Amino acid sequence: MNITEPAPGIHFVQGPASNWVIVRDAPASPDELDYLLIDGGYPADRDLILKSIRQIGLEPADAKAMLITHGHVDHTGSAAYFSRTFGTPILCSPEELAHVQGKEKHQVTFGQVIIRAWRPRVFRWLLHVIKAKALQAEPATRAEAWTPERLQSLPGQPEAILLPGHTPGNAAILIPGAQTIAVGDTFASGHPISTQSGPQMLHRMYHSDPETALAAARSLSTIQANVILPGHGPALHMPLAEANDALRT
């Protein structure tokens, strides 16, 4: 786990294979304890998430909400725990709600992975997925659909951008005041099965609709943000338009 603050009040946590974000209103003072979580790692990342929150002087119970960019298990792994233990609201796009609640499934299949498992990187990633308890992931059954008004009431006053393709209700979270965007898996800056670094689309097998996913990623070039926080790989310090120009497909 590596914690950085790429923009004031924005704490980016690179986990073992999936990232999450902690957002505070900036400038934060010691008595401002409210914060926002974006995504929740794999199920086995839960202790790291709790540790990362406490490491920056906050408490897990004080999260105002956890925003879920999309319903894959490497992003929802701690959602049910936060909901059950602390009463944390779990919010996602209306189009993704059934996925996050466990009523639908838009996930890479075992068959798609196993036919590629002869590749060392894919095999190592598969082992990590199993160790990360992806197969025991618990859906966030009490998740709710966000509204623009509810998002505006949260730390950082986030704005959601619907970007279908990776999943039907995949979204990015823009923090306008910090010119920072959490893009989830819309695109990445690295991934365990990739040999490349920098802006890149994930492998096609991870997307429910690869062509729509690419078009959605391209549409971000008009958004004003200079710090990009992907779900996989390090933070990118560049305008979104520049990242789009460099996007490997």
C-alpha closest to that of 230 among 163, 172, 178: 172
Rounded to an integer, what distance in angstroms lies between the CA atom of residue 107 and that of residue 135?
12
Tens digits of per-residue pLDDT, 12-25? Answer: 999 998 999 999 98
Q: What is the mean pLDDT of residues 103-114?
A: 79
C-alpha closest to that of 155 among 22, 244, 249: 22
pLDDT at 158: 98
Q: What is the mean pLDDT of residues 136-153?
A: 96
pLDDT at 131: 85
Q: What is the mean pLDDT of residues 36-52?
A: 97
CB-CB contact of 181 with 227 (8 Å): yes
Residue 38 has pLDDT above 90, yes or no: yes
Q: What is the mean pLDDT of residues 106-117?
A: 76
Tell the residue number behind the tokens 């310090």, with chain if given.
237
Q: What is the mean pLDDT of residues 112-134?
A: 80
Mean of per-residue pLDDT scores for the chain? 93
Q: Is 193 helix (H, G, I), strand (E, B) or coil?
A: coil
pLDDT at 45: 96
Residue 135 has pLDDT above 90, yes or no: no
Give the global pTM: 0.93
**Any idea which of 109-118, 148-157, 189-198 has the lowest mean pLDDT?**
109-118
Q: What is the mean pLDDT of residues 121-139?
A: 83
Q: What is the mean pLDDT of residues 197-221?
A: 95
Rounded to an integer, what distance in angstroms lies between the CA atom of residue 70 and that of residue 169?
7
Tens digits of per-residue pLDDT, 46-60? Answer: 999 999 999 999 999
Residue 194 has pLDDT above 90, yes or no: no
CB-CB contact of 225 with 181 (8 Å): yes
Residue 30 has pLDDT above 70, yes or no: no
Rounded to an integer, what distance in angstroms lies between the CA atom of residue 146 and that of residue 98?
13
Tens digits of per-residue pLDDT, 146-185? Answer: 999 999 999 999 999 999 999 999 999 999 999 999 999 9
Structural element, H or E, at residue 37: strand 35-38
